[in-house]
């Protein structure tokens, strides 16, 4: 990892200018963290755990590793909400702003650490009052409002595990997740503001509870948008009413380091999402460590902004737990970047709306770190720089990106136009399963290359392996993690066997992330995307199997195949191929209806970009669908080798249809 010597380099046939220098000395401005971790991984993480967190009871053994099951900081006891709130208030920082929250219409709230502690304690008492106990699970289905963070922290205060369900998901997703986790409660809102209008949530909860989710006893509803909702007597409660009646005094429960903190469901290669389990001490240690060093945090003065949604792991780790445990001030924003404040909006024509909401927020709050996704950066590039130039972004010190490989062009645009050619960019590779950052440059230590996530963080060891599991030190391979790390997933809820099979069986002894990567001559890692049947759409993992089951759920569909086709803005886009049941005629209307069916069943993010109605699907002689060919068709490429096809005319027919614009 001798990266300081590289000055100019070529990537994708382009030469890039000399690398950015860092104006200020950073926290990790030498290699001592790497040296310490290299010397002894457990000692390194134990020091971080003790320095960054406050423990009610110190731990003894650092790591118990019974592959693939890890336990970290054994015997230690701590409380997450105490670490995120009470200790900052006790240290006299109660008046410090935890969140500058901004609603999409332009309404704002300033929430201090003392405010947050008060609200979290009250809400924890509400949960207790409704009979929730340590070890229970509840679901949270909310817009990006402060009550979402309050609900999560209240759970941690009393040892209840939360399962946050992204607000864009459908009633079916709520049922599946509540059933899998036996969730006893759902916390929701009437609606949240999105794209200039309220987007309903409570109706989806009602539909879910009509269809299943039988373990849910109570529903708590925040009145965010004042839209009419039905409240079921005895089951549904208004947040503001139950909180007003609750005491603000709720002592934090000292919990075992391995106590279940949360479940977060993620797509795998089958249709059934996996409940990824994260626990208390190890998760909080790595999230605190990475939030501090990767963003080069100066908690006294920084205004940090992670523009993700709390419905995904990025928001869990880097909007809620990381920033709060480190006592910093964050921005939280409810809506989409192309929605101006209500007061700034001229008319209803979206195409006329200004597209500078992000830059406006950065300027108004003086944001110092911006953390967003390549898909957003590519959208900003399309919008052009005029909107950016109207704003003073000079407070920005560190820029981050996450969710998918970032192309060097987007990296350079981000660096030049948002970072004024000065600001380091941290391209952070990690996953729901890893809990926190794993591979990323460290400001002040790593010399970056546009488009490369560079190296593992101190205390994490990644290796590429070939098909036979042999370590690859130069060139392409499968990304594996070869040592346990504190914030690693502890399992899949209710399915230890699937945990073992999914992550630990392909390469024995190694965690297989499902991504391909390349190591260049300088030892830099370049992430190449998923190698399994999981698509990455706007930084969100969606399995092909999940969409296929949504397609065949439509009564007119007999068989379906889904591929992720590359897309300039979203990284990948969902493309479906369907064979109709007898008696149905192909038409543009039917194609549209099928697309909509998937959106209704799985949520709007799962809506395919296109659905092709085809007479047959290309299969091998053993009956396996040849997705590669479908991807080639979707991306308009030549077909390459088709000799293993059972019926070669099938692809030609599909391709002829696609070329003739049969896309529905």
| Residue numbers at the binding site for ligand PRX (CB under 6 A) | 266, 313-314, 402-405, 427-432, 453, 513-515, 527, 529-530, 536, 540-541
CB of 34 within 8 A of CB of 458?
yes
Nearest approach in angstroms of CB 567 to ligand PRX is: 15
Identity of the residue, 180 or 515, whose beta carbon is nearer to ligand PRX in the bound complex: 515
Nearest approach in angstroms of CB 254 to ligand PRX is: 30
Nearest approach in angstroms of CB 406 to ligand PRX is: 7
Picking from 102, 86, 107, 188, the residue whose alpha carbon sits closest to that of residue 147 is 188
DSSP 44: H
Return the percent helix, strand and coil in the chain, to nearest 5.
Answer: 30, 25, 45
Nearest approach in angstroms of CB 306 to ligand PRX is: 11
Burial class from Cβ neighbours inside 10 Å (0-12, 13-18, 19+) for residue 137 reads buried
For residues 496, 498, 500, 505, the Cα torsion angle rounded to the nearest 10 degrees is: 170
Identity of the residue, 452 or 664, whose beta carbon is nearer to ligand PRX in the bound complex: 452
Identity of the residue, 140 or 225, whose beta carbon is nearer to ligand PRX in the bound complex: 140
Nearest approach in angstroms of CB 434 to ligand PRX is: 8
Picking from 414, 353, 354, 362, the residue whose alpha carbon sits closest to that of residue 386 is 354
Nearest approach in angstroms of CB 565 to ligand PRX is: 16
Please enumerate in sequence order all residues whose Cβ is within 8 A of that of 105, keeping only pairs 6 or more positions apart, or say none. Answer: 193, 341, 342
Identity of the residue, 71 or 541, whose beta carbon is nearer to ligand PRX in the bound complex: 541
Picking from 68, 17, 116, 77, the residue whose alpha carbon sits closest to that of residue 504 is 68
CB of 118 within 8 A of CB of 98?
no
Nearest approach in angstroms of CB 487 to ligand PRX is: 12
610-613/571-580 β-pairing:
parallel
CA separation (Å) from 174 to 114, 164, 199, 301, 596?
33, 10, 16, 40, 19
CA angle 150, 377, 403 (to 5 degrees): 60
Identity of the residue, 270 or 395, whose beta carbon is nearer to ligand PRX in the bound complex: 270
Q: How far apart are alpha carbons 326 and 296 in whole angstroms?
A: 12
Supply 173's token pair. Answer: 């997703």
Identity of the residue, 9 or 166, whose beta carbon is nearer to ligand PRX in the bound complex: 166
Q: How far apart are alpha carbons 353 and 243 in whole angstroms?
A: 38
Identity of the residue, 198 or 282, whose beta carbon is nearer to ligand PRX in the bound complex: 282
Nearest approach in angstroms of CB 439 to ligand PRX is: 7
Nearest approach in angstroms of CB 373 to ligand PRX is: 8
Identity of the residue, 156 or 266, whose beta carbon is nearer to ligand PRX in the bound complex: 266
Identity of the residue, 191 or 527, whose beta carbon is nearer to ligand PRX in the bound complex: 527
Nearest approach in angstroms of CB 255 to ligand PRX is: 25
DSSP 581: P
Q: How far apart are alpha carbons 627 and 115 in whole angstroms?
A: 53
Q: How far apart are alpha carbons 156 and 80 in whole angstroms?
A: 6
Measured from the Cβ of residue 290, the count of other Cβ atoms closer than 10 Å reads 28
How many separate helices (H) and strands (E) can be counted in the chain? 21, 32
Provide the b/e sequence for 45-63 (b: ≥16 CB within 10 Å).
Answer: bbebbeebbebeeebeebb
Strands (E), 334-461: 369-372, 398-402, 425-428
Nearest approach in angstroms of CB 430 to ligand PRX is: 5
Q: How far apart are alpha carbons 565 and 635 in whole angstroms?
A: 6
Nearest approach in angstroms of CB 156 to ligand PRX is: 21
Picking from 601, 614, 607, 602, the residue whose alpha carbon sits closest to that of residue 557 is 614
Nearest approach in angstroms of CB 491 to ligand PRX is: 16
Identity of the residue, 549 or 572, whose beta carbon is nearer to ligand PRX in the bound complex: 572
Identity of the residue, 125 or 572, whose beta carbon is nearer to ligand PRX in the bound complex: 572
Identity of the residue, 49 or 294, whose beta carbon is nearer to ligand PRX in the bound complex: 294
Please enumerate in sequence order all residues whose Cβ is within 8 A of that of 531, keeping only pairs 6 or more positions apart, or say none. Answer: 478, 514, 515, 516
Identity of the residue, 287 or 614, whose beta carbon is nearer to ligand PRX in the bound complex: 287
């Amino acid at each position: 990892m001798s990266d300081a010597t590289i000055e100019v380099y070529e990537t994708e046939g382009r030469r890039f200018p000399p690398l950015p220098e860092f104006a200020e000395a950073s926290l990790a401005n030498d290699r001592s963290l790497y040296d310490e971790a290299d010397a002894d991984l457990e000692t390194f993480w134990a020091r971080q755990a003790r320095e960054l967190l406050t423990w009610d009871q110190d731990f003894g053994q650092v790591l118990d590793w019974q592959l693939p099951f890890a336990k970290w900081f054994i015997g230690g006891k701590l409380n997450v909400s105490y670490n995120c709130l009470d200790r900052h208030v006790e240290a006299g920082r109660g008046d410090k702003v935890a969140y500058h929250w901004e609603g999409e219409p332009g309404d704002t709230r300033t929430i201090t650490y003392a405010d947050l502690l008060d609200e979290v304690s009250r809400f924890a008492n509400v949960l207790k009052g409704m009979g929730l106990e340590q070890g229970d699970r509840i679901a949270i289905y909310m817009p990006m409002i402060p009550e979402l963070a309050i609900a999560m922290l209240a759970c941690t205060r009393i040892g209840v595990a939360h399962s946050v369900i992204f607000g864009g998901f459908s009633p079916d997703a709520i049922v599946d997740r509540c059933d899998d986790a036996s969730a006893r409660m759902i916390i929701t809102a009437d609606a949240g503001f999105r794209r200039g209008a309220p987007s309903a949530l409570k109706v989806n909860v009602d539909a879910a509870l009509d269809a299943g989710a039988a373990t849910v006893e109570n529903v708590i509803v925040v009145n965010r948008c004042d839209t009419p909702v039905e409240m079921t007597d005895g089951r549904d409660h208004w947040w503001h009413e139950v909180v007003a009646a609750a005491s603000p005094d709720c002592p934090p429960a000292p919990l075992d380091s391995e106590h279940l903190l949360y479940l977060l469901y993620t797509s795998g290669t089958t249709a059934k999402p996996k409940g990824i389990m994260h626990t208390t001490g190890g998760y909080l240690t790595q999230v605190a460590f990475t939030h501090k060093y990767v963003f080069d945090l100066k908690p006294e003065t920084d205004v940090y902004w992670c523009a993700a949604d709390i419905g995904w792991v990025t928001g869990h780790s880097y909007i809620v737990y990381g920033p709060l445990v480190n006592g910093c001030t964050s921005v939280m924003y409810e809506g989409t970047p192309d929605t101006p404040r209500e007061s700034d909006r001229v008319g209803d024509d979206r195409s006329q709306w200004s597209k500078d909401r992000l830059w406006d927020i950065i300027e108004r709050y003086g944001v110092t770190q911006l953390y967003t996704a390549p898909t957003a950066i590519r959208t900003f590039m399309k919008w052009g720089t005029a909107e950016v130039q109207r704003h003073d972004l000079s407070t920005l010190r560190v820029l981050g990106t996450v969710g998918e490989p970032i192309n060097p062009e987007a990296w350079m645009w981000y660096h030049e136009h948002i970072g004024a050619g000065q600001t380091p960019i941290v391209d952070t590779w990690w996953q729901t399963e890893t809990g926190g950052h794993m591979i990323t440059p460290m400001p002040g230590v790593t010399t970056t290359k546009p488009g490369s996530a560079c190296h593992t963080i101190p205390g994490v060891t990644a290796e590429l392996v070939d098909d036979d599991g042999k370590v690859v030190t130069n060139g392409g391979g499968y990304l594996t993690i070869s040592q346990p790390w504190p914030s690693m997933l502890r399992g899949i809820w209710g399915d230890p066997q699937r945990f073992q099979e999914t992550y630990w069986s392909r390469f024995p002894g190694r965690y297989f992330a499902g991504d391909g990567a390349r190591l260049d001559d300088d030892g830099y890692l370049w992430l190449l995307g998923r190698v399994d049947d999981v698509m990455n759409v706007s930084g969100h993992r969606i399995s092909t199997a999940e969409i296929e089951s949504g397609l065949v759920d439509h009564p007119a569909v007999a068989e379906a195949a889904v591929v992720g086709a590359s897309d300039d803005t979203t990284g990948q886009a969902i493309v479906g191929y369907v064979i109709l049941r007898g008696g149905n005629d192909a038409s543009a209307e039917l194609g549209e209806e099928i697309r909509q069916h998937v959106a209704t069943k799985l949520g709007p993010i799962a809506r395919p970009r296109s659905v092709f109605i085809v007479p047959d699907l290309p299969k091998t002689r053993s009956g396996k669908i040849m997705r590669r060919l479908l991807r080639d068709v979707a991306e308009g490429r030549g077909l390459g080798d088709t000799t293993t096809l059972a019926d070669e005319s099938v692809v030609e027919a599909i391709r002829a249809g696609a070329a003739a614009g049969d896309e529905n």
